[in-house]
Amino acid sequence: MGEPRWRLVHPVRQREAMLRGLCQVCARPARTELGFVFLAGPGDYAPHDTVVTACQPPVCPPHAAVAAALCPHLAGDPVVFLAASCPLYGVLGTPYEFDAGELQALPSEGRPVPYGDPRLDWFLASQLARRLRTFTRIDLAEARALGPRARADGLEAPRWAA
Ligand SMILES: [Zn+2]
């Protein structure tokens, strides 16, 4: 693992963790008995925001507090979401335009672009985003107390709710 390099999100690792539901700290399956835990900065969302789009991969219960303590953006006091449903939404990255035979980078909007959007025709994605659809807000102690997902089917790979 080593020292976290916060500004340099590794696109392949980010994608792998987001796609497969792996903890952003330990890369093990993050799914709990009640869903996935996502963290956001204390100022990222208003208390009653219902539209939450995550680009930070989930965390497993033991690592929720670790990520909160180490990540400057979370400032030790993150908003903690417990999501029962979090389908793939789109990607964050750099839009491009193809004009007069040249490809040119455009400024990023800083927000994920949803799948199906025509802007994705010319786009270099760097982070995968999920939309939290069915979620509650909990605190770090509640996150830590969550148990792992019951593995009645014997599958190690997590399945993400669609
Ligand atoms: Zn972990």
Q: Is the Cβ–Cβ distance between 82 and 143 less than 8 Å?
A: yes
Q: In one letter, which amino acid is 140?
A: L
Reported confidence tier of residue 149, pLDDT bands at 50, 70, 90 = confident
Of residues 69 and 162, more confidence is placed in 69
Among the listed ranges 5-9, 94-98, 127-131, 146-150, which one has the minimum average pLDDT value? 5-9
Question: Which of these, 63, 62, 52, lies nearest to 136 by C-alpha position?
Answer: 52
Mean pLDDT over residues 146-161, rounded?
Answer: 57
What distance in angstroms lies between residue 106's CA and the mean position of ligand 1's atoms?
36
- Check residue 74 and report its DSSP letter: T
Quote the longest CA-to-CA distance of the chain: 57
- Span from the CA of 93 to the centroid of ligand 1 (angstroms): 26
Q: What is the pLDDT of residues 99-144, one digit of tens each?
A: 899 999 999 888 999 999 999 999 999 999 999 999 999 999 999 9
Distance 149 CA to ligand 1 centre (A): 14
Residue spans of the domains in the chain: they are: 11-89+130-144, 92-126
pLDDT the model gives residue 28: 94
